Chain A
């Protein structure tokens, strides 16, 4: 393959950039440490990125359905689901099924109420999910106030264990991502999601049931956020109220950095993995370099703005 052809493949597949950037950062970090801890860094990155990927996929489906669609209830949902899951399991391996079922039900309810607010009150999704998140946050505070319940041992093992250095969690989430890519690109539902994002009017005239597709999308996003909350609680040895806080920015950032169009209609599942690895590795690289928390945050913010600026520049160049 000549260099120009490979370059054009690169620009046609925006998600490659995020993997490339993640790889570069990983190399820079191990060059700095002299090769020490390269494997454990990668293993940690896979674990932490898995959580970003779970919520990122849900947010991606929501964002794909068109401008203005966004799910702001993710952090509150994560906090609530973690609390529900840990409380129902109560540290007993025999009750894991109950915890999973409870979290699944709460996710389902959150998704339904999010869409009900959007539909019944005819308000923009931002406001609907925002007001829902206020309620969820209060519920999480009131419900999760009691003592910290440890996850059952076997659940903890699943969330933190690994197979030849690859975390179980990462393997499961890769499977989930493949599944979601198939749903997005090969099923009727996924095609409608993309069609509605590109042109809702045309999709409606073509017979698309916009209401149902958007309903399913908000439920999917809420379910994935609940799943993330449950696994996160298992991973960190118990639920905490603030554990979802960073996931609002993260869920949007991985979608954008991963090459999904913020205007909707064009989405990208593999990019979410690349972007999640990139974000985690970036933070840990800055950690290794010994930068302070403040500098780390500033750089993260700058990179997000730089990426979104570069991405939009590329798109306008292509359309010109």
Chain B
């Protein structure tokens, strides 16, 4: 039943993965690799970062051992679900020369049916945001749509916040409220280790039928609510979004942009880790004989020097203009383009910036400078 909440014991969690795999889903979720928690294919509960947590701050990410064996005792790492829905490298079509002409064969390969395990509320919102970018406008991206259509989402409600999190400011969490098939809240309470599972869709209910469940006693539900409420109070960052679009639009020549430009390396890390950044480029390649060609789409970043290149020069040649473009797009023009903010408050851009530039600090500096002028 949609909206129903049940209990799944820790020892039965593997069953959830098994049922999904039996139904033909490729289960992907968090796993430890290269001293970070990333997203990749997982088959067993043991693949999850059991007993790990992450310590995050501006330009800092460290994994630390927990005192317990929580499966989801961390927040978000350098990967986001966009690597599956909006692949970093994608062959769009192949072309063969045919006399003077050519024939093009579009890439019609069937993408895997993904089951995302452990999607945080901020990440759910990021997926909705990309849905608006790729499927709500005049044109639809068929590659995104093909992957998105079949995704099964197991969301996880955060019971602790990360060091750079500000989902509360962006109204994107910590509780997942919609768009999931199942939503879990992991509870470790004395000897007990269990999940409060909320059913979001009929597909979610179906999958759950293959997993041992118990009705959820009110006390367990209360604990779950408390834990999530706790996370709300732990936010590492805060962003005042009052009239933020107007604030940024009227400050395009603010000296703060020059200041941040002295620190920004235009390394593009922020755009790579951001779950909503969607810019891409295309490369047209041929084989050595020149008779076969291929067009490949790859992730791109507005921070690169030639992102805005037109005959002879780039429109945004200075780092200042590129940082300004990224921030004002993310927090201001995105609203005009797609009706929502582009930012979900996940904090990745703050954590993964090598020089710890903090998007919340930049906006605060501009906002406060106006207040001190009045």
User: Is B a genuine binding partner of A?
Assistant: no
